[in-house]
Copies of this chain bind each other. A is one copy, B any other.
Amino acid sequence: MDGMAVGESGSIRIGVIGGGQLARMMVPPAIHLGLGISVLAEAEGMSAARAADAVGDYRDPETVYAFAETVDVVTFDHEHVPQEILRELEARGVSVHPRPDALQYAQDKILMRQKLAALGVPVPDWAAVADEAALQSFIDEHGGRAVVKTARGGYDGKGVRVVSQADEVRDWFTALAEDGRGGHLLVEELVDFVRELSQLVARRPSGEMRSWPVVETIQRDGVCAEVLAPAPVADPATLDEAAGIGRTVAEGVGVTGVLAVEMFEARDGRVLVNELAMRPHNSGHFSIEGSVTSQFEQHLRAVADLPLGSTDMTAPAAVMVNVLGGPVEGPMPVRYARVLAEYPGAKIHSYDKLPRPGRKVGHVTVIGQDLAAVRAEAQAAAAAFD
Contacts and interface: CB of A to CB of B under 8 A. Distances in A.
Contacts of A338: 2
A5 B340 contact: no
Interface stretch (A55-63, A129-137, A191-199, A304-312): A304-312
Contacts of A315: 314
B309 A6 contact: no
Interface stretch (A30-38, A96-104, A115-123, A227-235): A30-38
A354 B309 contact: no
A340 B34 contact: no
Interface string A1-16: 1111111111100000
A162 interface: no
Count identical subunits in the complex: 2
Interface string A281-303: 00000001100110000000100
A344 interface: yes
A344 B310 contact: yes
A51 interface: yes
A320 to B, nearest CB: 13
Interface residues of A, number: 60
A337 interface: yes
Interface stretch (A217-225, A262-270, A271-279, A326-334): A326-334
A8 B354 contact: yes
A337 B307 contact: yes
A95 B50 CA distance: 23
Q: Mostly helix, strand, loop or mixed at chain A's interface? A: loop
Nearest to A339: B307
A308 B341 CA distance: 7
Interface stretch (A152-160, A173-181, A345-353): A345-353
A365 to B, nearest CB: 10
A30 to B, nearest CB: 8
A45 B24 CA distance: 21
Contacts of A124: none
A209 B28 CA distance: 26
A362 interface: yes
A76 B80 CA distance: 41
A367 B312 contact: no
A351 B2 contact: no
Contacts of A9: 331
A355 interface: yes
A322 B219 CA distance: 44
Contacts of A310: 344-345
A188 B31 CA distance: 40
A142 interface: no
Contact of A314 (B37, B293, B301, B314): B314
Nearest to A362: B34
A312 B289 CA distance: 14
Contacts of A362: 6, 34
Contact of A7 (B11, B312, B352): B352
Contacts of A50: 27, 31, 37, 50-51
Given A4-B337, A292-B345, 12 more contacts: A3-B333, A6-B350, A7-B332, A8-B45, A27-B28, A32-B348, A37-B50, A289-B314, A309-B344, A314-B314, A314-B315, A314-B367
13 contacts: A4-B333, A4-B336, A4-B337, A5-B332, A6-B352, A6-B362, A7-B331, A7-B355, A8-B45, A10-B331, A31-B50, A32-B350, A301-B340
